[in-house]
């Protein structure tokens, strides 16, 4: 299958500290790719470069046939790059539905406020967006929580709301920054099942950061291992698991 995402020699540093060091790899259309590596390896920075939150110092990215050196986050979203964050960036005082609708605000004609509060100019757009939000809410099993205020929900449910908000724009590429952080084993298994189902049902290509190697080996078809911003390994789970450099750099250390 063709690559949906290609990184070519991407580098990024913060005041002389190298976060990403001449990194190149590709992610196949329709696959689940996991980024693993110790704290500070550059994983979150890399997601930030791909969706335009950070600007790389050098190198370029090809996404769905479009080559860019830097991109604005809004443009990345419109091209089909969706994103969740390591620490939920949800609107805590708004309902689940309003948060999911917020994921559509960059796509329509209406303003952000008009989109989440379902008021304003374009009634047809409002109806389409509301139907899309409700479909994603149902798909992720969030119906019972639809009108509840996000801050009142358990953490595991909030992580699902974050995923719903990213998914509602129907991204081609979904970047998930530690979607299972802080979860117990049952919640991780449930989130892992949901991520697989999103991938299977919608064909969404997924790049995710996850520290639990057991989960990663079961979920991802492709694993990229980073250490000090460099690529240590890149391949199928079996290859990566048996790579001596990976064992030394990551699997051998307790995270």
Ligand X SMILES: Nc1ncnc2c1ncn2[C@@H]1O[C@H](COP(=O)(O)OP(=O)(O)OP(=O)(O)O)[C@@H](O)[C@H]1O
Q: Is residue 182 at the binding interface for ligand X, with CB under 6 A as the rule?
A: no
Q: What 3-state class would DSSP assign to 221?
A: coil
8 A C-beta contact, residue 173 and residue 4: yes
Of the ranges 14-22, 111-119, 153-161, 234-242, which one interacts with ligand X (CB under 6 A)? Answer: 14-22
Stretch that binds ligand X, among 12-20, 62-70, 144-152, 216-224 (CB under 6 A): 12-20
Q: Are 190 and 184 in contact (CB under 8 A)?
A: no
Residue 98 · residue 164 · CB < 8 Å: no
Q: 179, 159 in Cβ contact below 8 A? A: yes
Contacting residue, 41, 101, 191, 207, with ligand X by CB under 6 A? 41
Q: How far is the CB of 114 from ligand X (least distance, A)?
A: 32
CB of 171 to ligand X, least distance (A): 21
Q: Does 19 bind ligand X (CB under 6 A)?
A: yes
- Binding of ligand X by 45 (CB under 6 A): yes
CB of 182 to ligand X, least distance (A): 13
224 bridge partner residues? 35, 234
For the bound state, the minimum distance from the C-beta of residue 119 to ligand X, rounded and expressed in Å, comes to: 36
Minimum distance from residue 237 beta carbon to ligand X (Å): 19
Number of shown-chain residues binding ligand X (CB under 6 A):
11
Which region among 13-21, 55-63, 105-113, 199-207 touches ligand X (by CB under 6 A)?
A: 13-21
73 touching ligand X, by CB under 6 A:
no
Structural contact between residues 143 and 135, judged by C-beta atoms closer than 8 angstroms: no
| Tokens 């979920």 sit on residue | 219
- Which residues, at least 6 apart from 216, have a Cβ–Cβ distance to it below 8 Å? 34, 36, 210, 223, 237
Binding mask 21-40 for ligand X (x = CB under 6 A): ----------------x-xx
Residue 44 or 199: the one with the smaller Cβ distance to ligand X is 44
Residues in Cβ contact with 14 at an 8 Å cutoff, skipping those fewer than 6 apart: none
CB atoms within 10 A of CB 242: 12
Is 52 a binding residue for ligand X by CB under 6 A? The answer is: no
What torsion, rounded to 10 degrees, do the Cα atoms 231, 232, 236, 240 define? -160
Nearer to ligand X, 38 or 237 (CB): 38
In angstroms, the Cα distances linking 183 to 88, 212, 220 are 13, 11, 19
* Closest CB 231 distance from ligand X, rounded Å: 13
Residue 84 near ligand X by CB under 6 A: no
Residues that bind ligand X (CB under 6 A): 14, 17, 19, 37, 39-45
């Amino acid at each position: 299958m063709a690559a949906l995402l290609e990184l070519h020699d991407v580098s990024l540093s913060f005041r002389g500290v190298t976060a990403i060091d001449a990194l190149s790899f590709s992610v196949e259309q329709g696959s689940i790719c996991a980024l693993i590596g110790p704290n500070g390896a550059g994983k979150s920075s890399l997601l930030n470069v791909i969706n335009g939150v950070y600007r790389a110092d050098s190198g370029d990215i090809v996404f769905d046939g479009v080559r860019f050196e830097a991109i604005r986050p809004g443009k990345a979203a419109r091209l089909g790059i969706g994103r969740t964050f390591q620490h939920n960036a949800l609107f805590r005082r708004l309902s689940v539905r309003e948060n999911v609708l917020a994921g559509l605000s960059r796509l329509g004609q209406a303003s952000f406020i008009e989109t989440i509060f379902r008021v304003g100019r374009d009634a047809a757009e409002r109806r389409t967006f509301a139907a899309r939000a409700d479909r994603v809410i149902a798909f992720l099993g969030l119906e019972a929580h639809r009108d509840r205020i996000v801050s009142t929900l358990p953490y595991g449910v909030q992580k699902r709301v974050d995923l719903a908000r990213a998914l509602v724009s129907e991204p081609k590429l979904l970047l998930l920054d530690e979607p299972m952080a802080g979860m117990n084993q049952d919640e991780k298994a449930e989130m892992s099942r949901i991520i697989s189902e999103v991938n299977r049902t919608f064909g969404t290509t997924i790049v995710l950061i996850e520290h639990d190697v057991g989960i990663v080996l079961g979920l991802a078809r492709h694993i990229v291992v980073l250490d000090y911003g460099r690529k240590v390994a890149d391949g199928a789970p079996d290859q990566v698991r048996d790579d001596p450099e990976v064992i030394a750099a990551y699997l051998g250390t307790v995270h």
